[in-house]
Structure 1
Amino acid sequence: MSDIVESKPDIAVSKEALLKAEQYIEEEEGAANHLEGWLGVFLSTVAVVMSLFHMFAAYAIVPTQTLRPVHVGFVLFLSFLLFPVSKRFRHRIMWWDWLVSLLSIAIVVYLILGGDDFTDRNTRPDPWDIFFGVALILLVLEGMRRTIGWILPVISICFLLYAFLGAYLPSPWTHKGYEIGRVVGFMYMSLEGIYGVAVDVSSSLIILFTIFGAFLQFSGAGKFYIDFSFSAMGGKPAGAGRTVVLSSFLLGGPSGSGVATTVTLGTVAWPMLSKVGYERNAAGGLLAAGGLGAIISPPVMGAAAFIIAEFLKISYLDVLLMAVIPTTLFYLALFLMVEIDVRKYGMGQTIFKKVDTVWNLTRHYWFHFLSLISIIVFMMWGFSPVLSVFWATVVSFLTSFLRRDTAMISYDLFQGKGSISHHFFQSPLIQALRAGSVGMLGVGATCAGAGIIVGVVTLTGLGLKFSGIVIDYAGGSLLLTAIYTALVVWVIGLAVPVTASYIICAVITAPALIKLGVPDFAAHMFIFYYAVLSEVSPPTALSPFAASAITGGDPYKTTMQCWKYTIPAFLVPFVFVLDPSGQALLLMGSTDALAMANPWEIARVTLTAAAGIFALAVGFQGWLLVRATAVERTFLIAAGFALVYPGPVSNLAGAALIIIALASHWRRGWKHRPLQGERANSG
């Protein structure tokens, strides 16, 4: 990207800032080895073979009993060779790395060669079964530690200890306890433990969407989405902030990673945000908030969205439909915050150069939009999600040849210029296939580890025990149960990635909401949205920390600014949990996840939620036409909470509070209209 903004040296993004931001990406995705020579070629070849195998499995028929173990085998093999045991062994492969990587293959070979006899004896495993089963559990724990850190492995170990020591625990946590043979048989020799739902989704959907995102990136779609946003939103007082919001949606959709979206966009957008008047922490908060939207934005949501579909036994298209209005409300909150920023920070006209006109960009690169929407089109035609993303990847590959500069295989190869090996093996196609596999190793290891947790919960009945405890503490109140559930999801999300946070909470907290009459689809979406908060919640607020590295702001102040931008939208999940009418926000009826809600009900609930978001945005920002008074802010925040809580009484109270606050504010705003361009003294 060039000539986006007339940057001064003091606001340019330094190499040190980029390196620091890269550290936060590594904290989420693991600090990988950078290997050259024959080792680099070998690992790239394995990664390409892994992607091709999964694309073949999407089109052909590969038995589940084969696909899931092979997928975990690939993940562990590459994880042990690409991620060192510790940083001091980085950029080299030690003998023990080869040992554990080969052992991960042996575990899969032993399972596949065992055939039906192997699975039939899962309740009475023999010594070799136990050996390989224990080895798999240990390798999964180590694979998670290398790719995402210590916390999730420690949590998984605690769950395993709960399975072994249940007979020694006090009521209501007690259970009969299980011997190692029974645990190993369940975790390794059945499709209920490590090879359970999470790995099923990882092997059949997540990796395919990761490959699809890599194809979009290496065909130039990511750059186009940023360029398009900068051109479409430039020239207005709020153009800088609007650009961040729009480009984060377009760029985040294919990536599905909050941190990666934040860093990619931040390196381009921070100089522009600084130019128009954003202070460092506010700019970082906005960038992180935009990156957060990547995880909840259709058509390529975060990995947890695929697991929702599997848990609920509904199509992925249904999950996308349920996400449409909440995602729209999330970005509405960001747009409102951006518009308020213009007045709050006294911003003048945005000063930055457009890369090109919207018309020229669209005329030359329109096919990148085709690649993005093709997934939805294929699913609407009746294709399964797996086949839809497979064909969408094919579409992305084929349409890349419409222009020389986006072709995933160089035109020079077809014209006989240069060596075939150089043009093919260094082509964007090979890079995309490699990136598709490497980019999901952390998620794959997380899903395998989550299988340990889910397996223990299933084996011991912990989910029902925990839901009973939550309901007892809440006294049977749905509101308190929802608050406790949100807090549990939030606390767990502080320590583990979004996918793991969702899986853990889906099996231990969703039953509490469902017991109190909340439909399962609404309960799971509620948990999913609060699991997403882990991206912006200290101490693991990786997106704001990465943004602060780019802007030079304070990490914790940036995190609080990000909270300010996103908190209005994250009260929305209470709408579709606390009252049946609120489930219209998910475009679903109140009793059936496949029944479309009444259009008038959808419109009413959506407008009510939008009004609540507006009130909360103004209340938290403390600014509209002029600075809001303490009374006005209190009224607006109270109105926002009242409108989020479904019901005629609370909605009328919220509307009345908004009218009173806005009447007072408008009167002062018009009276002191010359002051509205003044810069706020504080953020």
Structure 2
Amino acid sequence: MNEPARVSLSEAAAVSSESLQKAEEYIEAEEGAANRPRGGLAVFLTLGAVAMSAFHLYSAYSIVPTQTMRGVHVAFVLALTFLLFPVARRFRHRIMWWDWLAAAIAIAVAAYAIRGGDDFTDRNTLPLPWDVAFGIALIVLVLEAMRRTSGWVMPVITAAFLAYALAGPWLPAPWTHKGYDVGRLVGVMYMTLEGIFGVAIDVSSSLIILFTIFGAFLQYSNAGKFFIDFSFAAMGGRPTGAGRTVVLSSFLLGGPSGSGVATTVTLASVAYPMLSKVGYERNAAGGLLAAGGLGAIISPPVLGAAAFLIAEFLKISYMDVLLMAVIPTVLFYLALFLMVEIDARKYAMGNITFEKVQTAWALARRYWFHFLSLVSIIAFMVWGFSPVMSVFWATAVSLATSLLRRDTSLIPYDLFTAPGKLGRKLLDMPLTRAMAGGSTGMLNVGATCAGAGIIVGVVTLTGLGLKFSSIVIAYAAGSLLLTAIFTALVVWIVGLAVPVTASYIICAVIAAPALTKLGVPDFAAHMFIFYYAVLSEVSPPTALSPFAAAAITGGDPYKTTLHCWKYTLPAFLLPFMFVLDPDGRALLLMGSAKAAAGADWLLVAKVTLTAAAAIAALAAAFQGWALLRTSAFERVLLVAAGLALVYPSGLANGTGFVLLLLVLVMQLARRAAHSAKPRIS
């Protein structure tokens, strides 16, 4: 009998610094290559970031006028972006005179708009020369901020939308529109709450930054370390222990963070040696780690930044978005669990135990309050608090509970023991770093939201969304299935070039109308687009999570991406269920009228079980393994079964169950025949 593989925590963390440096480069590809100044300059920037977090925590509890709130938020985002992100890599870790100038102009532009008050917004159709000058400056600053934090793609796309607005009369049909001059364009983008200061910045300033602050509080109170240790302790001892550890810890880490690539890197740096020791080859291990990180973007209570935008676009509560995400999230992790169960048999993995790790019960008894931080947001929402107040009080709970233990406290126990060093201690304490990290961690998202506001403004001004939806429907000949396929392809193609948040915003305004015109409810159309926008995390050339995982495992980035697709694809076929049929919308807990009222739970159960069977069939097909290795014919039957179960039709679903049962019978017969063969001693 094989001895179980033993992995110590020090061994699990034995990832080379070179691999971590490569992974850091992929994070920088998403979040930009930030400066790391020293001395007084570092103190100044830290205090600026803390001030940004303090302002937004204050605005969550108090009342700040909308125009002031969004203006101050954009000023903070742009100013800190120009001071923290260099114009080019060769200027990294230095702040040049042009960075200071850009930051000053950003503050001046916001101050001019705020001081203008109602008179400023009222003259948006006939702006003054100074209005136009400041508006052009803001648009240029937003484009440059996006370039510094996320690369060239998003600024180029945004500039193309601006060009579309200006060049309307000269465009070929059906893209023609009357066109708008610079003054009118600036009036919408700068002087109203429809452009740069629109919905995306509203969500960024009121929710996204508060959730990043909350995530930073959890990080600096060592909640992430506890979640990984707890997963190790809870899942060790079985052949599937390594894979299950990755799946559980990715959910616990990803839920509060909402960042796919950050979750992937954090987990991979600890878990890859364990996966390697039990039999995962490099690319398969990287694919599983990236798939787990991807779950961070679709997992309550935070999801990704795009989830907050769904609530704002649909004018529903964030709690409704969380409810819509519950069953799809469970099914996503079901797919991952099935995949790791198959991996254990496919690769003939052995048992694994973890040395020098406390039991799960002992860890939970000492650090139980970290679980409280996870559920507190939901608890406050159920209690009747708004999402903004819920995350505010959840952050307060996280701060208070961190004080229960010396090794988790955000305020050091020895803070006042050396009065002469109090200033330095205040700057270095975890609470200060969490406040600063909460602001700097969302600068790339804030810049993207400002740029997305330009795109939304152009789409609204020119009617591009209706034009695009008419074209898609015409190509699909009015078929809902073809329209859904075309929409998924459009979202996927856009996601190849831009991050999840930007991909969702662009497609929500240009592609969602195509689905709603054919009778799909708004909530189902937006969730469909959201889930396919998430695919940008695992789609080259911006497959940041798999590429970061490959940097740590030493695997091939593109092979790792393909493995990640294999692990995640079963769950990502499910959005078709809640677009193509009213019953399928029960997966979002907002399906039929009865399901929406909470009466028809039998429908919810039936659709969920059908979806789970579809996931199981597709997981076995993509892995080439069910009860044992599948033949080519069995894989074809499994793919057909999975697709039939996804398609919302009684006949199709019945056929899918029959095909799945047929494969299981064939496999059982083969296993019985193999067991009956006489063994030669």
Classify the TM-score, shorter chain.
over 0.9
Which sits farther off after the overlay, 348-357 or 383-392?
A: 348-357
Q: What value does the CA root-mean-square deviation take over the aligned residues?
A: 1.7
Matching residue of 1:679: none
CA separation of 1:416 and 1:98: change in aligned 2, threshold 3 A? closer
Identity of aligned residues (%): 72
Select 2:39's aligned residue among 29, 37, 40: 37
Q: Which runs of 5+ in 2 are unaligned?
A: none
Is structure 2 residue 552 aligned with structure 1 residue 547?
Answer: no
Select 1:638's aligned residue among 637, 640, 659: 640
Matching residue of 1:381: 383
CA separation of 1:145 and 1:594: change in aligned 2, threshold 3 A? farther
Query: Which of structure 1's runs of 4+ aligned residues deviate more than 6 A?
Result: 7-11
TM-score, normalised to structure 2, is 0.97
Matching residue of 1:26: 28
Q: CA deviation at 1:671?
A: 3.0
* Number of residues of Structure 1 aligned to a counterpart in Structure 2: 673
Which sits farther off after the overlay, 38-47 or 664-673?
A: 664-673
Would you say the 8 A contact 1:188–1:195 is kept in 2? yes
CA separation of 1:85 and 1:210: change in aligned 2, threshold 3 A? same
CA separation of 1:569 and 1:673: change in aligned 2, threshold 3 A? farther
Could you list the per-position Cα deviations for residues 442-473 of structure 1 after superposition, in whole angstroms to 9, with x for gaps in the alignment?
Answer: 00000000000000000000000000000000
Select 2:152's aligned residue among 150, 153, 156: 150
Could you list the per-position Cα deviations for residues 48-102 of structure 1 after superposition, in whole angstroms to 9, with x for gaps in the alignment?
Answer: 0000000000000000010001101000000000000000110101110011110
Matching residue of 1:491: 493
Aligned 1:198-213 pairs, distance under 5 A: 198-213=200-215
Which sits farther off after the overlay, 423-432 or 374-383?
A: 423-432
Q: C-alpha distance in 2, partners of 1:674/1:100?
A: 78
Would you say the 8 A contact 1:494–1:539 is kept in 2? yes
Matching residue of 1:250: 252
Q: C-alpha distance in 2, partners of 1:439/1:554?
A: 28
Matching residue of 2:560: 558
TM-score, normalised to structure 1, is 0.97
Matching residue of 1:342: 344
Matching residue of 2:304: 302
Could you list the per-position Cα deviations for residues 27-46 of structure 1 after superposition, in whole angstroms to 9, with x for gaps in the alignment?
Answer: 01110001001111100000
Q: CA deviation at 1:353?
A: 2.2
Matching residue of 2:93: 91
Would you say the 8 A contact 2:335–2:615 is kept in 1? yes
- The aligned amino acid for 1:310 is E
CA separation of 1:186 and 1:624: change in aligned 2, threshold 3 A? same
CA separation of 1:68 and 1:10: change in aligned 2, threshold 3 A? closer
Would you say the 8 A contact 1:4–1:352 is kept in 2? yes
Could you list the per-position Cα deviations for residues 339-369 of structure 1 after superposition, in whole angstroms to 9, with x for gaps in the alignment?
Answer: 0000100101114325210111000000000
Select 1:505's aligned residue among 496, 507, 516: 507
Is structure 2 residue 105 aligned with structure 1 residue 112?
Answer: no
Would you say the 8 A contact 1:587–1:597 is kept in 2? no
- The aligned amino acid for 1:611 is A
- The aligned amino acid for 1:212 is F
CA separation of 1:597 and 1:197: change in aligned 2, threshold 3 A? farther
- The aligned amino acid for 1:318 is D
Would you say the 8 A contact 2:9–2:355 is kept in 1? no
Q: C-alpha distance in 2, partners of 1:592/1:40?
A: 57
Q: CA deviation at 1:254?
A: 1.1
CA separation of 1:674 and 1:34: change in aligned 2, threshold 3 A? farther
Q: C-alpha distance in 1, partners of 2:308/2:415?
A: 38
Could you list the per-position Cα deviations for residues 145-184 of structure 1 after superposition, in whole angstroms to 9, with x for gaps in the alignment?
Answer: 0000100000000000000001101111000000000000
Matching residue of 2:18: 16
Q: C-alpha distance in 2, partners of 1:608/1:615?
A: 11
Could you list the per-position Cα deviations for residues 206-232 of structure 1 after superposition, in whole angstroms to 9, with x for gaps in the alignment?
Answer: 000000000000011111111111111
- The aligned amino acid for 2:513 is P
Q: C-alpha distance in 1, partners of 2:262/2:439?
A: 16
Per the alignment, in what secondary structure is the counterpart of residue 21 of structure 1?
Answer: helix
Q: C-alpha distance in 1, partners of 2:670/2:9?
A: 37
- The aligned amino acid for 2:493 is V
Q: CA deviation at 1:441?
A: 0.1
Select 1:368's aligned residue among 370, 373, 393: 370
Would you say the 8 A contact 2:287–2:561 is kept in 1? yes
Q: C-alpha distance in 2, partners of 1:591/1:604?
A: 16
Select 1:478's aligned residue among 460, 480, 489: 480
- The aligned amino acid for 2:544 is L
Q: CA deviation at 1:439?
A: 0.1
- The aligned amino acid for 2:325 is A
Would you say the 8 A contact 2:9–2:356 is kept in 1? no
Select 2:439's aligned residue among 437, 449, 464: 437
- The aligned amino acid for 2:359 is T
Matching residue of 2:287: 285
Would you say the 8 A contact 1:588–1:597 is kept in 2? no
- The aligned amino acid for 1:574 is F
Per the alignment, in what secondary structure is the counterpart of residue 7 of structure 2?
Answer: coil
Q: C-alpha distance in 1, partners of 2:35/2:674?
A: 60
Would you say the 8 A contact 2:627–2:664 is kept in 1? no
Is structure 2 residue 375 aligned with structure 1 residue 356?
Answer: no
Q: CA deviation at 1:665?
A: 1.1
Q: CA deviation at 1:496?
A: 0.3
Q: C-alpha distance in 2, partners of 1:420/1:78?
A: 26
Would you say the 8 A contact 2:373–2:394 is kept in 1? yes
Select 2:669's aligned residue among 662, 667, 670: 667
Matching residue of 1:678: none
Q: C-alpha distance in 2, partners of 1:594/1:172?
A: 39
